[in-house]
Structure 1
Amino acid sequence: MSYSFKNVLYRFNINVRYSSSLKINSKPLRNHLKHNSKFLDSLRIHVKGGTGGFGYPKYGGLGGKGGDVCLVATEGMTLKEFLTKYPHKKLQAETGGNSHSRRILGLVGQEKKVNVPIGISVYDDNNRLIGDLNEDKSELIVAKGGEGGCKVNGFCGKKGESRSIKLELKLIADVGLVGFPNAGKSTLLKSISNAKTKIASYPFTTLRPNIGIMSYKDLRQISMADLPGLIEGAHCNIGMGHRFLRHVERTKLLLLVVDINGFQLSPLKKFRSCLDTIVLLNKELELYKEDLLEKPAMLLINKMDTEGAKEKYLEIQEKIENLNDAIYLYPEDVRPKKAIKFDEILPISAKNEPGDIEYVKTIIRDILDIKEEINNVTDNKSLNKLKDSLRERGPVLV
């Protein structure tokens, strides 16, 4: 089939116009919205215990038990490293040895020991917790090996346990920063610790958890995690939802950070005042897990260096300090059942006031130390005596 020069040119022009329109319409994603694969905190894998070895009917020999699959919590390990080592996400232990005329008792199959990060929770297919690995070198068997062949099972070794499991990392940090996007959490973490965090004026700067270490002159160190910003509905897994909230569970202190000027996610969303954001954060934590409200908590009212900030703070100060009464000013759908109790409320400027940062470090340390002292007291008489002495110290509430 032959084409005239006009037909070829016509087809060429159509293709050029079509290609150009694709380029115009396909806008590249902004860097902060691109998927960040550096941090992995959830992984589903398949584990299989070794099959038991055959028995030896002639002499009543017993087959060796199949090996177990065991996870070992390891300092410095990450799920990304785990995935690099086991890209197929399958773990299998060795088969037990067979019984024979020269070895009546078959050898036990070698167990499969695999390193995982500290802070891993392991769940089965029904989302039931199998176990936690919170301490270095702690171990958890996730798939048991099958029994060796014997008279009871006809000398045929049983198959090992085989199932899918989910590894879910919950960060272990002393302090967890909680707040809506753009509240200044990353700025605070960068100022207060050695963490290298990304800071910008748009929401969702933090797409993955950042951990910083606060160092003190006496060499004491306290870890702080800046977690991705919450949005309304996080408890229903909206936005970063559960992926954020589960990291809060293993922190010792909740540090809520709010913008004195309020927050608005986008022009299509409702503007929330500073007090609104505190109540909504309270509600999201409660809906996810009520136990979180029992944790020690501290509130930072950030960006106090902005115009009109002092006046705004004075308007809401009494309501914040009496949050248990203030929550009843809100409709039932956003009102928490219980107000979170703050051990300390501090108005600060994380960006421009170094003195504020040093004071925050001091208060955080005081709260953690006091709570530890209280937790170590066993009888009520000693507890009351300790609380009386702590009240005299100030300024941290007990």
Structure 2
Amino acid sequence: MVFTSYCLRSEKKVRRYLRGFIDSLRLTVKGGTGGNGLPKYGGVGGQGGNVFCIAKENITLNKVKEKWTTKRVYAGHGGNSHAKAILGESGKDENIEVPLGIRVYRDDGKLLADLNEEGAKALVARGGYGGSHRSGWLGIKGQSNIIRLDLRLIADIGLVGFPNAGKSTLLKAVSRAKPKIASYPFTTIKPNIGIMEYPNLRSISMADLPGLIEGAHANIGMGHKFLKHVERTKMLLLIVDINGFQLSPKHKYRSCLENIILLNKELELYKKELLEKPATLIINKMDTPNATKNYDEIKDKISHLSEILKDYPEEMCPETPLIFDDILPISAKSGDEKQIQYVKERLKDILDLNDEISKKKDMEENAKLIQTLKEEIAEKAQGSQQFHR
């Protein structure tokens, strides 16, 4: 009875806390109606105002919601043409400042814009044209759309793991972030961003995402709400408890190796492209009893996941096993400064190495494209010469 009441109180607390975090917001946007024309003088009405979304730093969806409390954004109407002003005045545009990393969708699911850079701008509702002889001198109504602002955090590293693996503890250790930490599942119920700083003034951002559970790909446990934030990271950092994990007495205990396989599977089922990202693995809680022995038993298997999947049920095995750039056994909670510095340096080196590989691939692809274009131009030129002969 006590346990049940505790769970109910915890669930209510989680719901209250989540109300303060918004990563999706729907708005009704409408362009202004064009002004009426003036038949007597051939006057043209003013263009209706447009509605734009503009990406800005230090903006959150909470701030967007606070500014547009009615969730309706209407641009100004164009002015009518009259004897003293043959061309009607244009309606006022409305700009919705949104966070970096916003995708703007129309209500029918069409992607209107992907705003990742400061100042990136997208038209989401066009104003109507002013009245003229073509429209019988009547102003045209502006576009009306229902849009969804969908936030996907932008970070260099996405920290992924099952509950209570030590994600928040690691984030706190490597950065100045202050996530809530406790020894029970689902301490983190909204994403946190930490910044790893280096002596050369380099900084690397890390997103700590709430713990996944089996079935996250199917949106169990708010899976989609948080897995989507992994999409914009450069690298995946998986973290698992060397002692394994059991969500509750109703759930099956999963060993450390099983957790690695299941995380791989959840990422694949949500979006296969995620497995193309560089990935590093942290084996946490190495300060616990028998941790070293347990790690010695599985470290070779982790490096050869494709070879051991046959020993596990087909439903829990991914089609594409992850190949980790490095496997780091640590104790995030111990506060060992040398260990934490080593982790930071390894993550930086792995990021830099993969950036170089990506640049090289882009250069090779560009070189191939340029060569193809040159060959096409040469063929067309040769064909043209033969024609003129």
For 2:101 and 2:16, locate their aligned partners in 1 and report how far apart those are by CA, in whole Å.
24
Flag structure 2 segments of 5+ consecutive residues without an equivalent. Answer: 368-389
2:158 pairs with one of 176, 190, 214: 176
Pair 1:188 & 2:184 matched: no
Preserved contact between residue 79 and residue 117 of structure 1 (Cα < 8 Å) = yes
User: Cα RMSD between the aligned structures?
Assistant: 2.0
Pairs within 5 Å for 1:165-314: 165-314=147-296
SS of the equivalent of 1:177 reads strand
Is 2:353 aligned against 1:370? yes
Partner residue of 2:102?
120
Quote the Cα distance in structure 2 between the aligned partners of 1:143 and 1:349. Answer: 52
In the alignment, which residue of structure 1 is the partner of 2:114? 132
CA contact (8 A) 2:303 2:323 kept: no
Q: Secondary structure at the match of 2:246?
A: coil
Larger-gyration structure (1/2): 1
> For 1:196 and 1:375, how far apart are their aligned partners in 2?
33
Deviation at 1:382, TM superposition (A): 12
* SS of residue paired to 1:300: strand
2:24 corresponds, among 22, 42, 45, to 42
Q: Tell me how far apart the structure 2 counterparts of residues 25 and 341 of structure 1 sit (CA, whole Å).
A: 43
Residue 285 of structure 1 aligns to a residue whose secondary structure is helix
Aligned partners of 1:382, 1:209: CA distance in 2, in Å? 37
TM-score, with structure 2 as normaliser = 0.89
Structure 1 position 224, deviation (Å): 0.8
Q: Contact 1:228–1:240 at 8 Å: present in 2 too?
A: no
Q: Deviations over 1:236-270 (max 9, x none)?
A: 11102111011001111110000011111100001
Which of 56, 76, 101 is the matching residue for 1:74? 56
Task: Tell me how far 1:380 sits from its aligned partner.
Answer: 4.7
Letter in structure 1 aligned against 2:355? E
Q: Percent identity?
A: 57
CA distance in 1, matches of 2:354, 2:143: 43
Structure 1 window deviating more from structure 2 (193-202 vs 102-111): it is 102-111
Q: Aligned residue for 1:96?
A: 78
Find out whether 1:33 has 2:14 as its counterpart: yes
| Alpha-carbon shift at residue 358 of structure 1 (Å) | 1.0
Give the alignment partner of residue 332 of structure 1, picking from 305, 314, 334. 314
Structure 2 CA distance, aligned partners of 1:380 and 1:82? 42
What code does the residue aligned with 2:304 have?
Answer: N
Indicate the residue corresponding to 2:35 in structure 1: 53
What secondary structure, in the 3-state scheme, does the structure 2 residue paired with 1:368 have? helix
What does residue 106 of structure 1 align with?
88
Output the TM-score relative to the length of structure 1. Answer: 0.87
Deviation at 1:288, TM superposition (A): 0.8
Q: Report the CA distance between 1:163 and its aligned residue.
A: 1.5
Out of 271-280 and 25-34, give the one that drifted further: 25-34
The verdict on how the C-alpha distance between 1:382 and 1:97 changes in structure 2, with shifts beyond 3 A counting, is: closer
Match of 1:357 among 340, 349, 368: 340
